[in-house]
Structure 1
Amino acid sequence: MTEQDFAGRTALVTGGNSGIGRAVAEALAERGAYVVISGRDDARGNEVAAGIRSVGGRADFVQADLADLDSVQALAKQAIELGGGHVDVLVNNAGIFPMGPTADVAPADFDAAYAVNVRAPFYLVAALAPLMVQRGHGSIVNVTTMVATFGMAGAAAYGSSKAALQLLTKSWAAEYAAGGVRVNAVSPGPTRTEGTAVMGDSLDQLANTTPMQRVGSPAEIAAGIVFLASDQASLIHGTVLPIDGGRLAV
């Protein structure tokens, strides 16, 4: 039996209907949290929430387009209402990753990357962190990427957006610590998800640049996220945890 260390807490997981977000949502629910899952696909999101409920967990799905600021703000409001007036854990997991030469990145794709990867987390934190401070506790975990730390050809738009999220992690850590809110991030390496399936063999090739030379699983990334969100990480604050098979160690 998994320890119910998130019992009585509400968690919002963006992009919780697939990949890493789904693994996080399922793990948090298994450990007692009531989980609000957001995503764009109603059918898939409701399927994940129903699956959590079928094994005794508590979860609901809220449709949201994180590229739209009104939708982001509506998501925060709905999560607070569903959580009975509070959200204790925020996992900013949703992201998009336009890849390609800088000269080939369309303005719409660039704008969408910054809207989803930077603006959406910014305004979710703006809406939810002050309420966490009022309650005297809370945890925020942002999901970045290893290419936010080193340069990779073809990843300028994506990597720079996630580098901004890493800096926001540190800024929010400085801003909200006195109110009892911890803010951290994880930096995944190549991970096999529905979203990265389009990369084909190039995902394995990228993984071969890491010391462990293998692709990670959503569950392996989720384990780090859940740990940082938990009370076990009570003194860990303002850090970025690499979960990348050792890529940032070399």
Structure 2
Amino acid sequence: MTALTRFQDHGVLVTGAARGIGAAVARRLAEEGGKVLVTDRDLPEAEKTAAGLREQGLTVEAFECDVADRGSVEAAVAHAVGTFGALDVLVNSAASCTPDVPLFEDEPDDTWARDLDVTLTGVYRCCRAALPHLAASGRGAVVSIGSVNARLDFGNHAYSAAKAGLGSLTRTLAGHAAARGVRVNLVEPGTVRTSAWDGREDELDALRGLYPLGRVGEPADIAAAVAFLASRDAAWITGTALRVDGGLTAAHSGFHAVVRPPGV
């Protein structure tokens, strides 16, 4: 457990927190003293995650929240404020990523719309509901989980477009919210080892060679970056997109392997 206490007595809401990056963020902020509401469409899994953290003496509750539904989002925000007395930090981790069909022209409207609605509009819904409370706290912070898919072509048309939209929303909302004392930032992960890769370990091993730092990410890597941006250590940072990608978008390892073979 970290010795930091940057979120002591902070009310925190994390979406998509039943597993993966969201669960790691919930753990990290709770370990640093936060009172965390783990929200997810999968309530049983969210409750399991919350129970595991409570067993470690952390202040964590679970609540069902579908970011595609305005009423569900507003209920989750109200529950966090009512339970913790305030809402100081919102972390938007919920997303939808549907595999591409072979031909772009065969992409169905409904899957395209679903990925954008959850991944981009869901963040809009959460920020809209939370912003008055974040402003009232006097130390409000929003951190959303983006993706390197917003920067380069890694497939997944709708998901990538939504993550690119998050970059714009982060900037415009940061400009709007600054006068109200709320900071808004974005973390853009590269490949992270989560349950989405279950059964695809061979692919993960192959991807390691594309990363200058020699490995794919772990959920804790992303949680650490979120904790920094949500904390007062980042008090003069807003509207920023922080890439946490092992150097993937900074250096092309495959190119260097061709033009400058190892050992030459």
Counterpart in the other structure of 1:134:
136
Instruction: Decide whether the 8 Å contact of 2:73 with 2:129 is kept in 1.
Output: no
Q: Which runs of 5+ in 2 are unaligned?
A: 252-264
**TM-superposed deviation, 1:198:** 5.8
Instruction: Decide whether the 8 Å contact of 2:141 with 2:183 is kept in 1.
Output: yes
Instruction: Decide whether the 8 Å contact of 1:20 with 1:222 is kept in 2.
Output: yes
**TM-superposed deviation, 1:200:** 4.7
Letter in 1 for 2:210: T
Instruction: Decide whether the 8 Å contact of 1:99 with 1:157 is kept in 2.
Output: no
Q: How many pairs were matched up?
A: 248
Counterpart in the other structure of 1:100:
100
Pair 1:201 & 2:210 matched? no
- Structure 2 CA distance for aligned equivalents of residues 198 and 163 of structure 1: 28
SS in 2 for 1:6: coil
Letter in 2 for 1:5: R
**Superposition CA RMSD, Å:** 1.7
- Structure 1 CA distance for aligned equivalents of residues 156 and 8 of structure 2: 39
- Structure 1 CA distance for aligned equivalents of residues 66 and 206 of structure 2: 32
Counterpart in the other structure of 1:151:
153
Q: Which runs of 5+ in 1 are unaligned?
A: none
**TM-superposed deviation, 1:69:** 2.9
Pair 1:171 & 2:156 matched? no
- What CA deviation, in whole Å up to 9, does each residue of 1:12-45 have, x standing for no partner? 0111110111111111111110000111222211
Question: What is the TM-score normalised by the length of structure 2?
Answer: 0.88
Question: What is the TM-score normalised by the length of structure 1?
Answer: 0.93
Percent sequence identity over aligned pairs: 37
SS in 1 for 2:57: coil
**TM-superposed deviation, 1:150:** 1.5
Rg (Cα) greater in structure: 2
- Structure 2 CA distance for aligned equivalents of residues 167 and 31 of structure 1: 30
- Structure 1 CA distance for aligned equivalents of residues 175 and 199 of structure 2: 38
Choose the corresponding residue for 1:125, options 120, 124, 127: 127
- Structure 2 CA distance for aligned equivalents of residues 178 and 34 of structure 1: 26
Letter in 2 for 1:107: D
- Structure 1 CA distance for aligned equivalents of residues 214 and 43 of structure 2: 36
Please say which of residues 134-143 and 89-98 is displaced more in the overlay.
134-143
**TM-superposed deviation, 1:72:** 2.1
